[in-house]
């Protein structure tokens, strides 16, 4: 995976207003069917990983586990973020392609 491309695409999605971040906002977006892709940090707590893995399965939402809390946060101009939600189909497809490369 090209980390530079991945994090720049995440930053672009944020600037475009197509990203939600944080536990509560992403949970709400998944349940409302607005989140197309959930991104979970590899170093998130086991509890957080289990919660979002189960939630994404239940609501048929794509989930990828990549990066770490600090880098995800930095891509958004925040300190730390364990989970992000992409609300746009185009951005989610591009981010998945980059993560799988």
Confidence class of residue 45 from pLDDT cuts 50, 70 and 90?
very high
Domain covering 3-100, topology: 60s Ribosomal Protein L30; Chain: A; (3.30.1330)
Write down the pLDDT at residue 79.
87
Q: Catalogue the long-range contacts made by 61-65 (C-beta closer than 8 Å, 24 or more residues apart).
A: 61/30, 61/35, 61/36, 61/37, 62/36, 62/37, 62/38, 62/92, 62/96, 63/37, 63/38, 63/39, 64/37, 64/38, 64/39, 64/40, 64/95, 64/96, 64/99, 65/40, 65/41
**pLDDT tens, 46-73?**
999 999 999 999 999 999 999 899 999 9
Average pLDDT of the chain to the nearest whole number? 94
Q: Where are the domains of the chain?
A: 3-100
């Amino acid at each position: 995976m090209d980390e530079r491309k991945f994090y720049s695409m995440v930053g672009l999605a944020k600037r475009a207003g197509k990203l939600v971040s944080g536990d509560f906002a992403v949970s709400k977006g998944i349940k409302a069917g607005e989140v197309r892709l959930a991104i979970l940090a590899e170093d998130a707590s086991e509890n957080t990983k289990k919660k979002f893995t189960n939630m994404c399965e239940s609501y048929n939402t794509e989930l990828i586990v990549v990066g770490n809390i600090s880098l995800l946060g930095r891509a958004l101009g925040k300190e730390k973020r364990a989970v992000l939600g992409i609300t746009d189909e185009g951005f989610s497809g591009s981010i998945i392609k980059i993560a799988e490369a």
